[in-house]
Amino acid sequence: MGEEKIAVSESEYYILKALNDKGIKKFKLEEGEKLIGIEKSKLASLLKLLESKNLIKINEKRIKVIKLTDKGRKVLEEGLPEEKLIDILNGKEIINIKEVKELLGEDANIAIGQAKKLKIIDLKEGKVLLIMNYNDAKNLLNKIKNMLINLNFDSNTEKDMLSRGLIKYDYVTETTVIVEENAISKVEILASRLTHEILAKRLWKNLKLREYDIASEPPTVYPARKHYFIEFIEELKDIMKELGFKETDGPLVEIELFNFDMLFQPQDHPAREIHDTLWIKDPRNYDINEMKDLIDRVSRVHERGWRYKFNQEISSRYVLRSQTTSVSARLLLNKFNPPIRYFTIGKVYRSDVIDASHLPEFHQLDGIMGDHNYTFKDLLGILKEFGERLGIEIKFKPGYFPFTEPSVEGYAKINNKWIELFGAGLFRPEVLEMAGIDYRVGAWGMGVERLIMARLGLNDIRQLYETNYDFLRSFKLR
């Protein structure tokens, strides 16, 4: 195509197309709305645009029209003064001018003047007399009135009406639109976006989409977001499930029996003192009488192992659980048939002052697995596997926990640094004895926060609890 096309908007194109389809070359603007189906004011401005692109011509012509004046409108409502006059004369034939003036007021003169001119009345010695048959007079006046209604006069009447101020002349512009030859073939649509209208009206073939400055910044939009921390916890749950662990849960407000005693933590252990354990105000104790057998067993094992006097009142005290191993301790009491694998992820509480790396509550993952021939090598195996599935290298160090032996601390290589990640071990025979279990059980517990912070590159634990809407919605994944 040698010739440059003229760019038009989709609405402009639509007008040209409608006219072309109907074979219209010329039309009056006021007919346009009907012809094209676009509202008049919008159409006018679109036509101006088309004219500016030399696709149509708009011719304007001044035309004189007759219009009713206010006075004329009033006369049509109330009747012509000469009509009123003949109504007065009807049946009287003669009447004093003076009387006419009283009855018609300021209309009297014009009524008399017009009626005389039409030879309906005559004047004699100060008196008005009807000289035409009333009905004929009425007909004549109706004819005149109809002219006024239709604004279509003979030339005399038109002059009369003009001089009486019942009508006036006005000028209007008549706009004729002439479509240029082959306008439709000279254009293409330039659109900012595809629209339903373009597609529905099948305009797209003649469409040119406006090109964007593709590198300019778009407006910012945010998605609704799942919380990155919870997403990580769910990821951990999936890993545990894949490793064959069943998820369980336990209470946040625990009793010391399960949080400490069952885990062979001596009752005078420093971790059980006021600075490290959070108790609740009310109620302070749980009624442990229903667990008498268990308490007796626990008390016996403690007294033998730690050589002190076991205090049942301490066992019954409520604490905010300090480790999710309390869930595992409860679980052991179910005496499931081995092999077993269970896990839990939940909140635990510590008496920590808040800073960039401490909060009074955080999450722990706790897993236990057991079987009759379960070995330390099996424990290390699952820990290694867990690390691999998380994508981290793990190394082991001997450790100390009151409830496991041998005990392991797991270190993870994160950003080229070994950080302590979890504690693990085989439950001590004392723990199994308290639970009444005759197979070996491995256990491990892990703080979740440290790992997610390392993964997300956060350096302040408080960012895990940030509630700022824009921060949450614009949070970048790693």
Residue ranges in 252-281 that form contacts with another protein under rule CB under 8 A: 252-253, 268, 270, 274, 277-281
Residues 300-329 that bind another protein (CB under 8 A): 305, 307-308, 318, 320
Choice between 102 and 438, CB closer to another protein: 438
Which neighbouring-strand residues pair with 59?
176
Per-residue tokens: 209: 């989409």
Q: Which of 24, 131, 235, 399 binds another protein (CB under 8 A)?
A: 399
Q: Which stretch binds another protein (CB under 8 A): 148-156, 206-214, 248-256, 292-300?
A: 248-256
298 Cα distance to chain centroid: 58
Q: Which of 8, 187, 327, 382 binds another protein (CB under 8 A)?
A: 382
Residues 127-156 that bind another protein (CB under 8 A): none
Q: Is there binding between residue 110 and another protein (CB under 8 A)?
A: no
Q: Site map for another protein, 176-215, x if CB under 8 A?
A: ----------------------------------------
Task: Map residue 431 onto helix, strand or coil.
Answer: helix
Q: Which stretch binds another protein (CB under 8 A): 10-18, 45-53, 80-88, 464-472?
A: 464-472
111 Cα distance to chain centroid: 73
Q: Are 265 and 254 in contact (CB under 8 A)?
A: no
Q: How many CA atoms lie within 13 A of 390 on its CB side?
A: 25
| Omega prior to 429 cis, within 30 of 0 | no
Choice between 154 and 231, CB closer to another protein: 231
Per-residue tokens: 71: 């006075």
Q: Are 40 and 33 in contact (CB under 8 A)?
A: yes
Residues 213-242 that bind another protein (CB under 8 A): 224-227, 229-230, 234, 237, 240-242
Per-residue tokens: 370: 């057991």
Q: How far is the CB of 467 from another protein (least distance, A)?
A: 4
Q: Which of 92, 119, 143, 395 binds another protein (CB under 8 A)?
A: 395
Q: Site map for another protein, 405-444, x if CB under 8 A?
A: xxxxx----------------x-xxx---------x----
Per-residue tokens: 266: 């001596």
Q: Calculate ∠ Cα 52-56-59, nearest 5°.
A: 95
Q: How far is the CB of 218 from another protein (least distance, A)?
A: 16
Per-residue tokens: 11: 């609405």
Q: How far is the CB of 446 from another protein (least distance, A)?
A: 17
Choice between 149 and 230, CB closer to another protein: 230
End-to-end CA distance of the chain: 52
Q: Site map for another protein, 338-367, x if CB under 8 A?
A: -x-x-----x-x-xxxx----xxx------
Give 26-32 contacts, CB < 8 A, sequence gap 24+: 26/176, 26/177, 26/178, 26/179, 27/176, 27/177, 28/174, 28/175, 28/176, 28/177, 29/58, 29/175, 29/176, 29/177, 30/175, 32/177
Q: Is there binding between residue 37 and another protein (CB under 8 A)?
A: no
CA dist 163 and 294 (Å) reads 122
Q: How far is the CB of 377 from another protein (least distance, A)?
A: 4
Q: Are 339 and 412 in contact (CB under 8 A)?
A: no
# of chain residues touching another protein (CB under 8 A): 85
CB contact set of 232 (below 8 Å; sequence gap of 6+) = 448, 451, 452, 455
Burial of 38 (0-12, 13-18, 19+ CB in 10 A): middle
107 Cα distance to chain centroid: 70
Q: How far is the CB of 223 from another protein (least distance, A)?
A: 8
Q: Is there binding between residue 467 and another protein (CB under 8 A)?
A: yes
Q: How far is the CB of 406 from another protein (least distance, A)?
A: 4
Q: How far is the CB of 255 from another protein (least distance, A)?
A: 10
Q: Which of 378, 413, 414, 454 binds another protein (CB under 8 A)?
A: 378
Please list the alpha-helical segments (H only) found in 316-370: 325-332
Choice between 61 and 307, CB closer to another protein: 307
CA dist 81 and 405 (Å) reads 125
Q: Which of 470, 476, 477, 478 binds another protein (CB under 8 A)?
A: 470
Q: Which of 42, 73, 246, 335 binds another protein (CB under 8 A)?
A: 246
Q: How far is the CB of 465 from another protein (least distance, A)?
A: 6
Q: How far is the CB of 426 from another protein (least distance, A)?
A: 7
Q: Which of 283, 292, 334, 436 binds another protein (CB under 8 A)?
A: 283
Q: How far is the CB of 472 from another protein (least distance, A)?
A: 5
Q: Are 85 and 161 in contact (CB under 8 A)?
A: no
CA dist 351 and 274 (Å) reads 9
Burial of 289 (0-12, 13-18, 19+ CB in 10 A): exposed
By C-alpha distance, which of 271, 275, 226, 279 is closest to 253?
A: 279
